[in-house]
Amino acid sequence: MAKSRTRLILLTVAAATSAALALTGCANRSGGGGGDAADFPSKQITFYTPTQAGGATDLTARTLAEELEAELGQALVVDNRPGGAGSVGMAHLAGLEPDGYSIMVFPVEVSLLGHQGYDTDPADYDFLGIVNEQPGAIAVPADSPYQTLEDLVSAAAEQPGSVTVSNAGPGSIWEVGALELGRVADVEFQGVPFDGGAPAVTAAVGKQVDAVVAGAAEMAQAHADGQLRVLAVFTEEPVPVLEDVPTAGDAGFDVVIGSWAAIGAPAGLDDGVKETLESALEVAATSDAYTSFIEKSGNIPVFVGADDAAEFVQAEHERFAELLAE
């Protein structure tokens, strides 16, 4: 079984990705948009999210919007466009003018959905930066008989399909995370989809399932409260929010996978408009208010600029194509 090639260490992504990434189409479409850099921005900017209000992606947008308003001198209004695992909002953005007045916070699923039957392609967007990451993890109810990841995998090996694992729903990164663990361990889990990571975690707390794959931040409090036992994090190194938990690699399963958030706009931005947005985003994403919000939520604040972000998203898109084809 081929080892996972996922890398969530975004600050070094440029060195880890190939210069031959298929970005030509996106590059050819940039630099000719309808925005005028001379007076941009001169009016309100709409900040879309492809998710419901109140979730992690939405709150990321709202926190960034406050910082961006101060930097750009214009109001940013958050507009939620949920549906189709995020594809509804993404399709809406792709159809708008690339004038800089419509931007979106993209979850990792922008790199996944095109491989799962949705009409979504990262080439439809100009990415301005990556602003946070969340490692994945796997947990069981606190009184589960499975004390370690090896125990859980052994049970799945003995009775294929008998071990139930909740996830955030079809097309989500956590569904893929569970599939990847199954592939690496050469076992079959029975996936149980929910509408988001929080209800998937709640299902495990309530013992409706044997285990849950979700974001480390989404299960950290339940782990600390003794409601869940996190068996492993899907990272190369332990993560601060679950510093007492081993990595999957420590158990012999090389799974490194997680979520991230990118900010983007319809492809074809004027270069000057793009530079203005990228510069403002860097200030916002490295501000004390935003980094404090991300850290308190249990996630990891980062900032990766536009060029490296575009390469990273494309690399993820190509990697998920290989992973989901296996």
DSSP summary character for residue 19? T
Span 301-325, mean pLDDT? 93
pTM: 0.81
Query: Which of 307, 270, 234, 222 minimizes the C-alpha distance to 33?
Result: 270
pLDDT exceeds cutoff 90 at 16: no
Asked if omega into 41 is within 30° of 0 (cis), the reply is yes
pLDDT confidence bin for 196, thresholds 50/70/90? confident
pLDDT confidence bin for 36, thresholds 50/70/90? low
Find out whether 228 and 204 touch, Cβ atoms under 8 Å: yes
pLDDT exceeds cutoff 60 at 25: no
CB atoms within 10 A of CB 69: 18
Q: Give the pLDDT of residue 259.
A: 94
CB atoms within 10 A of CB 236: 15
Handedness of CA 96, 97, 98, 100 (dihedral sign): negative
Compute the distance between CA of residue 38 and CA of residue 47 in angstroms, rounded to an integer. 21
Compute the distance between CA of residue 133 and CA of residue 258 in angstroms, rounded to an integer. 7
pLDDT exceeds cutoff 80 at 3: no
Find out whether 266 and 126 touch, Cβ atoms under 8 Å: yes
- Alpha carbon 132 to its chain centroid, in Å, reads 8
CB atoms within 10 A of CB 308: 19
Compute the distance between CA of residue 293 and CA of residue 59 in angstroms, rounded to an integer. 9
Mean of pLDDT over the chain: 88
pLDDT confidence bin for 76, thresholds 50/70/90? very high
Compute the distance between CA of residue 198 and CA of residue 219 in angstroms, rounded to an integer. 8
CB atoms within 10 A of CB 317: 21
Q: 114 is written with which tokens?
A: 């095109």
Q: Give the pLDDT of residue 54.
A: 84
Task: Kindly report, residue by residue over 241-295, the tens digit of the pLDDT.
Answer: 998 999 999 999 999 999 999 999 999 999 999 999 999 999 999 999 999 999 9
Compute the distance between CA of residue 247 and CA of residue 254 in angstroms, rounded to an integer. 9
Q: Give the pLDDT of residue 1.
A: 33
